[in-house]
């Protein structure tokens, strides 16, 4: 199925039940209220494309997905090209760090490519966070097995509550509320939020 706003293909579970939007469009609409539909869709499509490229999909596949979502071919090619250009310093830093190049030399090569010293340090920090398996600050990742279990337990709690209140299936008092509370806790635990990094320990910053 496709998002009703940006037309990116998403699963039925991911779409908002009422608006039919994908999670990215919903997030943008909540964060920047008053944006018109076209701006939301354009921003969301760039975010979807960036996520696909970061997952290792080829530029050709991402470009074809953008075109399938209604983006003109020239605009789709420009989105992919711009992202790949922005991504180049991160790729270079990752290759150098994976090859054991010292931080100072990585910084020097990034500066030679046209980055300011502060930008080079920020790129290295981001790459090191990715290599250590950390998520960017403020983002979270969901564990689907816990989310599914939490949903099932909540559903069971609803059935118990209905059974107790209607008298059709009387069980332990407050069993429905207790079960739903446990299910909600499981669902909440399925999302792991990254703790802020200790910035002083991430990158060997240049001394003044």
Q: Do residues 44 and 72 share a domain?
A: yes
Consecutive 10-residue averages of pLDDT for the chain (208 residues): 91 85 90 87 89 86 93 92 84 88 90 85 82 52 65 73 70 66 70 46 39
- Residue 141, classified by CB atoms within 10 Å of its CB into exposed (0-12), middle (13-18) or buried (19+), is exposed
The answer as to whether 208 is a domain residue is: no
Q: Please report the pLDDT score of residue 126 as a whole number.
A: 79
Q: Do residues 46 and 113 share a domain?
A: yes
The answer as to whether 15 is a domain residue is: no
Judged by DSSP in three states, 173 sits in coil
The answer as to whether 136 is a domain residue is: no
Q: Which of 131, 156, 179 is the last residue of a domain?
A: 131
Q: Do residues 150 and 77 share a domain?
A: no
The answer as to whether 96 is a domain residue is: yes
Q: Do residues 108 and 148 share a domain?
A: no
Matching residue, tokens 């920090």: 125
Q: Do residues 42 and 125 share a domain?
A: yes
The answer as to whether 200 is a domain residue is: no
Report the C-alpha gap between 5 and 19 in whole angstroms: 9
Q: Do residues 27 and 111 share a domain?
A: yes
What is the model's pTM? Answer: 0.51
The answer as to whether 172 is a domain residue is: yes
DSSP for 37-71 reads: HHHHHHHHHHHHHHHHHHTT--HHHHHHHHHHTT-
Q: Please report the pLDDT score of residue 116 as a whole number.
A: 85
Domain ranges, residue 28: 23-131
Q: Do residues 101 and 31 share a domain?
A: yes
Report the C-alpha gap between 204 and 117 in whole angstroms: 13
Q: Do residues 89 and 164 share a domain?
A: no
Are 171 and 204 contacting, i.e. CB atoms less than 8 angstroms apart?
no
Q: Please report the pLDDT score of residue 207 as a whole number.
A: 41
Q: Do residues 97 and 157 share a domain?
A: no
Are 8 and 42 contacting, i.e. CB atoms less than 8 angstroms apart?
no
Q: Which of 65, 100, 131 is the last residue of a domain?
A: 131
Q: Do residues 46 and 119 share a domain?
A: yes
- Residue 139, classified by CB atoms within 10 Å of its CB into exposed (0-12), middle (13-18) or buried (19+), is exposed
Q: Please report the pLDDT score of residue 63 as a whole number.
A: 94
Q: Do residues 167 and 123 share a domain?
A: no
DSSP 2: B
The answer as to whether 5 is a domain residue is: no
Domain count of the fold of the chain: 2
Q: Do residues 49 and 70 share a domain?
A: yes
The answer as to whether 110 is a domain residue is: yes
């Amino acid at each position: 199925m496709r998002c009703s706003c940006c037309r990116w293909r998403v699963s039925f579970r991911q779409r908002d039940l009422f608006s039919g939007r994908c999670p990215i469009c919903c997030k943008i609409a909540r964060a920047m209220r008053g944006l018109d539909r076209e701006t939301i869709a354009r921003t969301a499509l760039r975010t979807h494309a960036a996520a696909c490229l970061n997952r290792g999909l080829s530029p050709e596949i991402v470009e074809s997905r953008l075109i399938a979502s209604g983006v003109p071919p020239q605009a789709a090619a420009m989105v992919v090209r711009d992202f790949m250009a922005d991504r180049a310093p991160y790729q270079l830093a990752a290759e150098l760090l994976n090859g054991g190049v010292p931080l100072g030399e990585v910084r020097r090569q990034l500066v030679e490519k046209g980055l300011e010293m502060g930008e080079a340090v920020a790129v290295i920090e981001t790459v090191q966070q990715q290599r250590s398996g950390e998520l960017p600050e403020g983002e979270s990742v969901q564990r689907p097995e816990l989310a599914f279990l939490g949903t099932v337990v909540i559903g069971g709690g609803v059935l118990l509550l209905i059974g107790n209140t209607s008298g059709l299936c009387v069980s332990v008092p407050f069993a429905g509320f207790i079960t739903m509370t446990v299910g909600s806790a499981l669902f909440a635990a399925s999302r792991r939020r990254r703790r802020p990094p200790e910035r002083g320990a991430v990158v060997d910053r240049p001394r003044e």
